[in-house]
Structures are given as structure tokens and as C-alpha cells.
Amino acid sequence: MSAILWVLFAIFAIVLFAVWLVYATVTGTHNRLVALDQRCETAFSDIDVHLKHRHNLIPGLVEVVKGMRDHERDMVMGVMDARARALAAMSSQVRLKAEGNLSAESGTLLSAVEKHPDIKALPEFVSLRQQLVDCENRITAARRFHNLAIEEYNTSLRQFPASLIAQKRRMTTRQPYDLGVERVLLDEPVAIAF
């Protein structure tokens, strides 16, 4: 009789250990997914801080460039409209697209200013341009971190057993911060004329 009790106790212990192991795996995987999701949120917040700084620089740039001809004034208005759309965007996807448009409009304006040596020589413009370049560099670094966090999160969602847990918890993949139009501008070769 005692041998049967020991066998039943061993079976019970093995079942209890298996249940605990499954629970620990599920809990650990869920906690990891939550941590990765939070890292994505934090990374987006970092981008957001730099984008707000850029938004604060744009009005100063517009004031310095207002003396340009009518054709360039349309560019100035395009930058201001893009800024307004970016500030008004509610969802992260719409916001990221609006921010991409703002980057493109700002780049177009800055390249148009290159044709005007009088504006280009203003100390205010030089300072604002340097601040914008520094801001864009910080945005690029924050975007890289954000995209790496998104990649790690999305990869984890596709792995077993996280895929099952994510499905049960209705966790979905996230979209990386895509350069969109900016990517085309960055990939274009620079024309050099002699």
C-alpha cells in the first residue's frame, strides 16, 4: 500500500511541477511581451520629445525666411501647414506620416534658402539651421531605437509560445517609423556640378 501511495505522490508531484512550469512560462512570456510593448511606447515618447522641439524651431525659421519671393512663400506656407497637420494628428500612424511630410517640407524650404545668400548669411538663420540639423539627428537616433524596439517586439510576437499568449491577450504587431518619402530623398545621389 505504501508503494502505491509513493507512486501516486510522485505522479501528483510531477503533475504539479508541470502545471507550475507551464504557469511560469506563460507568466514570464507575458511579462516579457508587456515589457517590450512598454519599451516601444517609451521609444515613441523619445521621438515625440524631439519632434516637439522641432515644432518649436519651425516658427523661428519661417520668420527668418519670410522675406523670400512669392514662390518660396508657398514653401513657407507648406511647412506651416505640415506643422499644423503634425500637431493635430491623433493616432501614432497618422502622426508619423504627418511628421514625415513635415521633414520633407522643411528640407525643401532649407534647400530653397540656399539660393538666397542674404538669408543664408543671417546669423539667426545659421543658428536655426544648425539647431534643426541637430534636432533631425536626434530624431534619427530616436527613430532607430524605436524601430529596433518594434522589431524585437514584433519578432517576439511571432515566436512560440509568445504567439499563443499574444493571440489570447489580443496583442498585435506595431508599425515601425518608416521614412517614406524621406527614404527616397536620402537614397537619391547628390548631384555635383563643376
What are the chain's domains?
Answer: 2-182 (1.20.1440.20)
Give the gyration radius of the chain's Cα atoms: 26
Would you state the pLDDT for residue 1?
Answer: 64
SS3 content of the chain, % helix, strand, coil (to 5): 80, 0, 20
Q: How confident is the model at residue 122 (pLDDT cuts 50, 70, 90)?
A: confident
Would you state the pLDDT for residue 70?
Answer: 57
Closest of 78, 144, 143 to residue 111, by C-alpha: 78
Residue range 46-77, pLDDT digits in tens:
998 998 999 898 888 888 777 665 556 677 78
Q: How confident is the model at residue 118 (pLDDT cuts 50, 70, 90)?
A: confident
Residue range 170-187, pLDDT digits in tens:
999 998 887 654 444 444
Would you state the pLDDT for residue 22?
Answer: 92
pTM: 0.72
Would you state the pLDDT for residue 62?
Answer: 81
Q: At what angle do helices 92-113 and 70-88 cross, to 10 degrees?
A: 160
Would you state the pLDDT for residue 23?
Answer: 92
CA distances to 105, 127, 139, 179, 182 from 102, rounded to whole Å, are 5, 20, 13, 12, 10
CA distance 138 to 148: 15
Would you state the pLDDT for residue 185?
Answer: 43
CA distance 43 to 150: 9
Would you state the pLDDT for residue 194?
Answer: 39
Among 39-43, 90-94, 160-164, 186-190, the minimum mean pLDDT is found in 186-190
Mean predicted confidence (pLDDT) in 125-145: 89
Which one-letter DSSP state was computed for residue 180? T
